Structure 1
Amino acid sequence: MSNALAIAAVTQVLKDLLNDGLINNDVTGSLGTTVTVTTTAPDRVDTSVAGEQSQLNLFMYQVSVNSGWRNHNLPSHNAAGERINNPPLALDLHYLLTAYGATDLHPEILLGYGMQLLHDHPILSREAIRKSLQPVSGDNSFSNLPLSLRSLASSKLDEQVELLKITPEQLSAEELSKFWTAFQNKYRPTAAYKVTVVLIESEKSTKVGLPVKERGLYVMPFNQPVIKVIKSQVTAGAPVSDSQPILPGYRLVLEGTQLAAQVVKLHIDGKEIAATPQWLSAGTLAFTLPADISAGVHGVQVSHPVNMGNPPVLHAGAISTAEAFVLHPQLTNIQVNNAQGSGTQPRSADITLKINPGVGTTQKVLLLLNEVDSGAPGVTLHAYSFSWAQASPPAPGPFTDIVIPIHNVAAGAYLVRIQIDGVQSVLGTDGNGKYNTPQLVLA
């Protein structure tokens, strides 16, 4: 790659190309006057009647980023901000070739020769670049070069990976007018050219990783598991139902497609569980719910991790979307303590509940009481709800035994439910389908 001297080096090579071409074609002899090639700004060229001379002037008026190379070797830094690469600065150089002359037709003749020389050399060869920038043959020093050229010999322009190409550009009369207005000089015959591409590369130290010792490429088909239906079983071998409430200790039965794989893992709420799936059929698997799953709404997923590396280590693979299920709490014991009130007075008491699974520290708990229907006509049935207040500061959960105070409750028998995060415990029924358990009695 080239360095920062490459822009000036390109201009010098083009100047040398034009100068050699004019000499080889004996343009000076044809015109009968000295012809020079310059690379100065147009506003610095003398166009006065007494001072104008026959000359070709090559002026670089614009530098643009090359669109084909602009993203090469990016990114240049890693996430830690360390330099990992030196991407080249890819530039296109835009030139104006202008002909001057104090005598009629000299500008036209010089512009014709200049355009023909650039047309005959659409690509600047490495040899041509070296010839223009390096010392003459047999002299390894730079003493024979002008001071302005000695530094350009180290531009490394001839070493860049892509050769320089010269192409004409079409400028409208309006664009040329704007240029010469900006130059604040008298207009002369002008042609526009583009030289592409100059690749300038920094020599800053980069952090290079160690070579790959062993390839670890793995190809996996797009085989994402899909859960379509969630059902449940009380125990293994029991009937599978999609309508019965799911209680602690039950087995979840997942039906779907592409559930099977070499390695299958189960996740609840995004966390892998230790349960081992049992395959009931090609698209159906079952597993027992872990004991530490709290009551409430949960999401279950099936994943297919893949063994990679040596020794093999499981890595994340395809995973299904989460499908929701509801785990209902169970009331395993109810006790009424510290009952107060008699006769027609409302009752107060402390209700001690044993709950499975235990209540989490952040879960909201409600005790729901519904008076049992005695069947007597014209009787208004009472219903109450009481919330559970944790101690302050709260102790670590889960809590399997909680106490909820109740007050101003009419005497009688009540069906009892516990509601945790909006999910209620299940009531039992008698042979007639009437709710009858669990109950408490406030005498």
Structure 2
Amino acid sequence: MSNYLAIATVTATLQRTLQASVQVDVDGARVTTVRPDRLNTGSPEAGVNIYLYDILQNTAWRSADLRQRFSNEKYTKQPQTGLDLYYLLSCYGNEVELEPQRLMGSVIRTFNTKATLTQQMIQETVADSTLTFLADSNLAEQVETISISPVDLNIEEISKIWSVFFQTAYSLSMAYKASIILIDSGEIPKKPIPVRSLGRQITPYQPAIAQIKVLEALAKLWQTPQAATPLILATSTLLIQGDRLGAENIQVRIGNVKATPQAVTDRQITLDLSSIPVNSLRAGVQSLQVIHPQQHVNSNVVPILLRPTIQEVTVTNLEVRENDTRSAEVSVLVNVTLEKGQQVTLVLTELSLTQFAGYSFEQTKQRRSNTHSITFTITDCLPGSYLVRLIIDGAESLFTVDTNPNSPTFEQYIGPVVVIS
């Protein structure tokens, strides 16, 4: 690990590394570390500018700062922070002689052959007489290797970076990342206190959910046996299977709602969702958890996808347009509550075996209150009969399947249907 001078030491090391290369490739070129908007006043005519434009915490080291702590607030190891440094390298010079492009090629070649900041490179930077302000840096003692790698930026990302510098002309640029830089607090950890006494503490077994099934065989009409998640409706009966599920007065929590199951064993819990007030259920991904209130333990959390059911579809304000298309307002009534912050999409699929037309209309406006009905304004829709689906936070309503073997539409979708005439 290293002290607070680590970031500046990395920048200075990159500067010295590039300076040794570009001055050979382009006569008189220099490497600077100023803001891009100061290049016209603080830089020579040809050179490369290194600008640190972003610092992010390294995701792989987020949990590395978890330290053992004692009652006297002393720690057994130093706190540390892992960082990734993002640099913008801009090349400038005589465009006629292609100096910026020659310098960029020099930069790419240099960092390709010297993709790691070695201990010797860092030590030489700290010992540089022109960088006396880095004399106390101990970055060279860091065990983790610091690597330099290019960062692919598209036009939009480059434009956002340069837009920060007001009225500054763009220069040929490329981004690089330096990772990982570890900064410690400098505190010296103390030795832990010896154990004086031993005590016992009994922790109850935690219930574990292994899988969730749906009791109704009708669900097989919409899914194959290989489907990863069961089709769950507000009327479904769930079979929650696992280990150590049985206890007294247990509850099942779905989202923010707690329910009492109908049957409980150590390996399986039966929960009829229709016993829960439908107004308490919401469509979309829900968390399910088994609660043992007397033992004060909860099971693992398992996600389920609760699908809405369309109860009624109505069409109003139907208008015929010049190109023979239609515009109208389609209102959809569902069984579950639509919360005002949920994303809802209406999908219309033409009910025809000879031709196909499909439309999608999204409700992006925030609704003022929770409701069971939502109205969509549809435009440029061809006349015809359409199967209706509603997608709420990724949970898609199901079509009605004809289960009459004597019907000409046996095992076909027959509803819900809306007619746009």
* TM-score > 0.5 by shorter chain: no
Higher share in helix? 2
Q: State the TM-score, normalized to the length of structure 2.
A: 0.44
Q: State the TM-score, normalized to the length of structure 1.
A: 0.42
